[in-house]
């Protein structure tokens, strides 16, 4: 507004507020529509001082827990998307909707990371088996997995800064604590019973079987494998 009243020509005027020059920082933080989103989300996030976007991001992300960091980044993404929708598709601006959209996306993404990551799922399963083995101290337990990556990670000293890395660390601790556990990699065709059992168990809420109630295809896998 100030620049316009002084008749200063702005080449790249912001297409949302039509008041100031468009920069990444302006678009995502200082444009009044964006500022409103930040104020609603967290009034402690400063939007007054003008700086480079990277600097602003660094200031607001440093020392923040993972979830708060994810929220700030996702809200930036949602604001950017809303700007595009307004400029290119003439969709109206609604700060509450922009925030809601960001959280919806973040929650879907987080769930997808956990559900669709087969390596993590396998690592969690091994950890579960190892914690059972802890209770059967009098027996030696053999754990087999057809996921080579997980077995190699547990045996290695590699540290990963992720949910998978955390589960691998927990598996290593369990293996170290228990001297009755053997961990092996097994090819999938030799692991059909476990594979089939995991597959059908989704249809059985209590996931408890005995030889009489076990699904037929699992039963035949076990018979085949015990013959080999």
Nearer to Zn ion, 13 or 186 (CB): 13
Cβ 90 to Zn ion shortest distance, Å: 16
How far apart CA 60 and CA 44 sit, in angstroms, is: 9
State which residue, 17 or 99, has the beta carbon closest to Zn ion.
17
Beta carbon nearer to Zn ion, 15 or 192: 15
Min dist CB 34 to Zn ion, Å, is 8
Tell me how far CA of residue 174 lies from CA of 35, 120, 130, 169, 194, in angstroms: 49, 17, 6, 9, 22
Write out the DSSP string of 11-34: TTB-TTTSSSB--HHIIIIISHHH
Nearest approach, Cβ of 42 to Zn ion (angstroms)? 20
Using CB under 5 A, list all residues that contact Zn ion: 14, 16-17, 31
Which residue, among 102, 80, 74, has the nearest Cα to 16 in the 3D structure? 80
- Minimum CB distance to Zn ion, residue 4 (Å): 12
Q: Are 103 and 111 in contact (CB under 8 A)?
A: no
Q: For residues 1 and 227, which CB has a smaller minimum distance to Zn ion in the complex? A: 1
């Amino acid at each position: 507004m100030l620049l316009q009243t002084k008749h200063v020509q702005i080449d790249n005027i912001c297409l949302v507020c039509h008041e100031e020059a468009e920069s990444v920082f302006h678009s995502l933080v200082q444009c009044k529509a964006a500022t409103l989103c930040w104020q609603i989300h967290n009034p402690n996030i400063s939007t007054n001082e003008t700086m480079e976007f990277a600097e602003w991001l660094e200031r607001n992300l440093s020392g923040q827990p993972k979830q708060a960091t994810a929220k700030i980044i996702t809200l930036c993404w949602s604001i950017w998307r809303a700007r595009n929708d307004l400029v290119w598709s003439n969709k109206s601006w609604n700060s509450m909707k922009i925030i809601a959209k960001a959280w919806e996306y973040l929650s879907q993404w987080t769930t997808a990371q956990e559900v669709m990551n087969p390596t993590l799922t396998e690592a969690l399963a091994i950890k579960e088996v190892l914690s059972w083995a802890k209770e059967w101290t009098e027996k030696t337990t053999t754990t087999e997995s057809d996921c080579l990556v997980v077995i190699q990670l547990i045996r290695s000293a590699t540290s990963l800064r992720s949910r998978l890395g955390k589960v691998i660390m927990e598996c290593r601790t369990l293996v170290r604590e228990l001297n009755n556990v053997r961990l092996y990699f097994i090819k999938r065709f030799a692991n059909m019973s476990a594979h089939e059992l995991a597959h059908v168990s989704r249809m059985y809420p209590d996931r408890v079987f005995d030889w009489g109630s076990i699904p037929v295809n699992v039963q035949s896998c076990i018979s085949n494998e015990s013959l080999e």
